[in-house]
Chain A
Amino acid sequence: MKKGIKILKVLVIVILFIMLLSAVSRLVEPKYATELIEGHFISEYYNEEKNHEVIFIGDCEMYSNISPMELYKTEGITSFVRGTPQQLIWQSSAILEETLTYEKPKVVVLSVNCLKYDKPVSEAYNRLTIDKMKWSKQKVDIILSSMTEEESFLSYVFPLLRYHARWEELTQEDIKYLFDSKENTYNGYLMEKDIRPVENLPTKRELSNYQFGDICYTYLDKITKLCKDNNIELILVKAPSVYPYWYEEYDKQIENYVEKNGIRYINFLDIIAEIGIDYSKDTYDSGMHLNLTGARKLSVYFAKILKNDYNLTDFRDIANVSAIYKKKLEAYNKAVLEN
């Protein structure tokens, strides 16, 4: 009896300290609400009604350039951009896998920009993609495959181990968004309205190696197989970003791959005029990403391709979905009009 009470006392203390440390951990974790907002993108999907027929996966070339609201407005397509900064191909693969546990889209669009990287780039980018992801087998996979040498798996399980030093720099944001963060995207699209025209086009700088890494092909194969197994049409796209330079050697490898696997590839850089993009006013950072006007043009153009070629539903006529999108559009249109 005495021993039992002793054990009970210890248990109570352990639980109390775990609660205390969890609370501190929650407090010091970055909220990604008003600073480094890209870190919150991955989690915005979880609150969504899972009725998307098109899922976009990739890095900033997806979340800055494609606006699902425009796809809906133009053709009634429901879509979501599951984009995160510097998303690597194995991260894209796991994110697609995770998405498929929630819903089965008709089309998956993958940005090919990630094929350039066959190694984890930096801890900071990893954090922006992984931190706010829900725990799942896919999250474990992403962590294990993305960790740089300085990182440890435990610091993802217990964020306090990574962010403890933030006690010195806590702001009101950390209190305000302690339990709930701010949504910053419109179905995964990050709206930027500034204009910063392209001044110089990048010149081609010779690289020592243009070959995509083996690991990139392994994960591209995995994505292709996942889509085939689930009867999903996979489209590979290169966004119309003039920076960084996109090499013909990259394109050739992708063309070979899509030919072998019966997949579609669209390089929007080749059809800039057709889309109507004007780099003197459609970019907010001298050509790396499109601004709102550029993204609208690209999205309207892409919406037509998707509608014509992929037998997608026009959800504007479906009451329960259109009701949801009505609210979304109101917020989106309001943001478009805001200065």
Chain B
Amino acid sequence: MNLVSESFIWFMIITTILYYLSPKKVKKYTLLMISVITLACLGWENLAYILFSTISTYLAGLCIEKGKNKKAILIGTVGINSIILIIMKIVPYINSKPEFNLIVPLGISYYTFQVISYLVDVYREKYSAERNFFHFALYVMYFPYLFVGPINRFDQIKQSLIKEENKKFNIESFYEGILKISMGFFKKLMVVSRIHVIISTITGDITTYTGAYALLAMILYSIDIYADFSGAIDIVVGFSKILQIQLTANFNLPYLATSINDFWHRWHMSLSRWFKDYIYIPLGGNRKGRVREYINILIVFTVSGLWHGANYILWGILHGIFTIFDRLRGDKKRNRPISIVVTFLLVSILWSFFIWPDTITSLKMIGSLFTTFNYVDMFQNVLQLGINLQNIILLLGCIILLVIIALNKSYLEAKMQNADITVKCTIVFLLISIILIFGWYGIGFDISQFIYNKF
């Protein structure tokens, strides 16, 4: 199932209807039941793994709270769940036998991170262990965030997920949800699908497309991965909004970051915070001197790279090194616009490890930025990169629109809050109409999975 597929649209419609038709005390169980059935429909192995994680963590949480052998239980349960995740991550890379085909369960990274955070928090006595198994199961198995996250903390999402009061159908939440979902579809079908074609053309010929072409691919990929990932999150968050479930925010204008350190406070925030709370701080954080702080940063970013996949270790280490540089520089005053541009370019260059298939090619492409100056050639051949002029204009228009929306986010949100229902409806329908007419979907268009599905 793809978040921008017809089947997911039906899933959202049916879930919403069943959810609001259920009596208020039953709503959360309806949601759990739908999640379980959907997971089972997508393959029993999906359900088996997540059930194991849910049951083991639920029981471990209760045992930890009782206080006997709590450290051993924590290490054991976190260990088993982590080992399963690591196996699922590593086997596809080292497996050379096609007959040994390991099916990676949907959302294993996201729910494993959630159960680990839950267990550690209970161990740290941040909150008590959940007594109601179904409440806990819903926290782990709530279907929409299994696709791309965000990684939610139990104490933050519990109330919104299981509360019974004020869950009557609310037109405002519905509108906000639909708008958010539409934005997600807009990003994926209007922006990402077009950029993919250009990037595929460039990466398809690594001898011709170097230098300026590589830089174009890097910049476009920055937009691509942001639109793709935040678009997916928009759909998940929007759908949850319709159900009046508040999920954790995952992005805060990441390309307005003034340093790499700042970037990681704005990009995939739920993962960054998770790494900080459950790896960086247990390692000692910045409490054990400067050297240990920097080593801890490097460890965290290396793990982050590994989590993305074996090819991305260097990407993680480089982000770690640049973060250390930022810490070394401290709070020295910087020119904000220049810092934003430099950070954006740096982040874009580092995305190379995601664009080209292996580390060596990625490094060669980064090297070509400084050795091949074919900018004139690139501008002359921009129409040979897989999409025609109309689509390039449309793509640029969409990117400009996204930038304007991002820069004026709070102003627009406030305006929309007070806007008349006709204005709100017109905006949603306009957005849907644009997507329906100009979106790249259906036969002949390859709507690839969201990039962060595979992590």
Contact A150 B421 (CB under 8 A): no
B168 to chain A, nearest CB (A): 15
Question: Do B421 and A9 touch (CB < 8 A)?
Answer: yes
List chain A residues, Cβ under 8 A from B328.
none
Q: Which residues of A (1-43) have their CB < 8 Å from a CB of B?
A: 6, 9-10, 13-14, 17, 20-21, 24, 28
Complex contacts, B437 vs chain A, CB 8 Å: 21, 24, 28, 160, 164, 167
Task: Report if A248 contacts B (CB, 8 A).
Answer: no
Pairwise interchain contact B425-A20, C-beta atoms closer than 8 A: no
Q: Can you report 16 A-B residue pairs in the complex whose CB atoms are below 8 A from each other?
A: A9-B422, A13-B425, A13-B429, A21-B433, A21-B436, A21-B437, A24-B433, A155-B442, A162-B442, A164-B437, A164-B438, A164-B441, A165-B442, A165-B445, A168-B390, A168-B391
Counting CB contacts under 8 A, is A278 at the interface?
Answer: no
Q: A150-B443, A155-B443 are in contact. List 11 more A-B contacts (CB 8 A).
A: A21-B437, A24-B433, A24-B437, A161-B441, A164-B437, A164-B438, A165-B440, A165-B442, A165-B444, A167-B437, A168-B390
> Smallest distance from the beta carbon of A128 to chain B beta carbons, Å?
14
* Chain A residues, Cβ within 8 Å of B433: 17, 20-21, 24
**Interface contact A151-B443, CB-CB below 8 Å:** yes
Question: Would you call B422 and A10 a contact (CB within 8 A)?
Answer: yes
Of residues 268 through 322 on chain A, the ones whose CB sits less than 8 Å from some CB of chain B are none
Chain A residue numbers with a CB within 8 Å of B408 are none
| 1/0 contact string of B371-386 vs chain A (CB within 8 Å) | 0000000000000000
Ranked nearest first, the 6 interchain pairs of A and B with the lowest CB-CB distance are A17-B429, A13-B425, A9-B422, A164-B437, A150-B443, A10-B425
Tell me the bound Cα distance from A20 to B426 in angstroms.
Answer: 12
Chain A CB within 8 A of B125 CB: no
Chain B residue with the shortest CB-CB distance to A123: B443
- Taking a contact as CB atoms under 8 Å apart, the answer to whether A161 and B436 are in contact is yes
Tell me if A154 is interfacial: C-beta within 8 Å of chain B.
Answer: yes
Q: What residues of B have a CB within 8 angstroms of the CB of A253 in the complex? A: none
Residue among B422, B425, B432, B439 making CB contact with A164, cutoff 8 Å: B439
**Least Cβ–Cβ distance between B256 and chain A, in angstroms:** 34
A51: interface (CB < 8 Å): no
Interfacial residues of chain A within 148-164, with CB under 8 A of chain B in the complex: 150-152, 154-155, 160-162, 164
Total contacting residues, chain A, CB less than 8 A: 23
Question: Are A6 and B421 also in contact (CB < 8 A) when A17-B429, A161-B436 are?
Answer: yes
Asked whether, in the complex, the Cβ of A10 is within 8 Å of the Cβ of B436, the reply is no
Q: Which residues of B contact A165 (CB under 8 A)?
A: 440, 442, 444-445
Among A9, A151, A165, max chain B CB count under 10 A is at A165
Q: Give CA–CA (A28, B6) in the complex, Å.
A: 21
The complex places the Cα of A10 from the Cα of B422 at a distance, in Å, of 6
Evaluate whether A167 and B438 lie within 8 angstroms (CB atoms) in the complex, with A17-B433, A151-B443 already known. Answer: yes
B419-455 contact mask (Cβ, 8 Å, vs A): 1 or 0? 0011001100110110011111111110000000000
The listed residue with most B CB atoms (<10 A of its CB), out of A160, A162, A164, is A164
Which of B426, B437, B441, B444 lies at the interface centre, i.e. has the most chain A CB atoms within 10 A of its CB? B437
Distance from A315 Cβ to chain B, minimum over Cβ atoms (Å): 44
CB distance from A171 to the nearest CB of B (A): 15
- Contact between chains at A13 and B436 (CB < 8 Å): no
How distant is the Cα of A6 from the Cα of B436 in the complex, in angstroms? 26
Within 8 Å CB of A154, what residues of B?
6
A307 to B439, CA, bound (A): 56
Q: Which B residues lie within 8 Å of A14 (CB)?
A: 425, 429
Query: Which residues in A have their C-beta under 8 angstroms from that of B443?
Result: 123, 150-151, 155, 162
CA distance A161 to B436 in the complex (A): 7
For B441, the chain A residues whose CB sits under 8 A away are: 161, 164
In the complex, A162→B439 CA distance in Å? 11
Query: What 1/0 flags go to A119-157 for Cβ under 8 Å of B?
Result: 000010000000000000000000000000011101100
Are A13 and B439 in contact, CB atoms less than 8 angstroms apart?
Answer: no
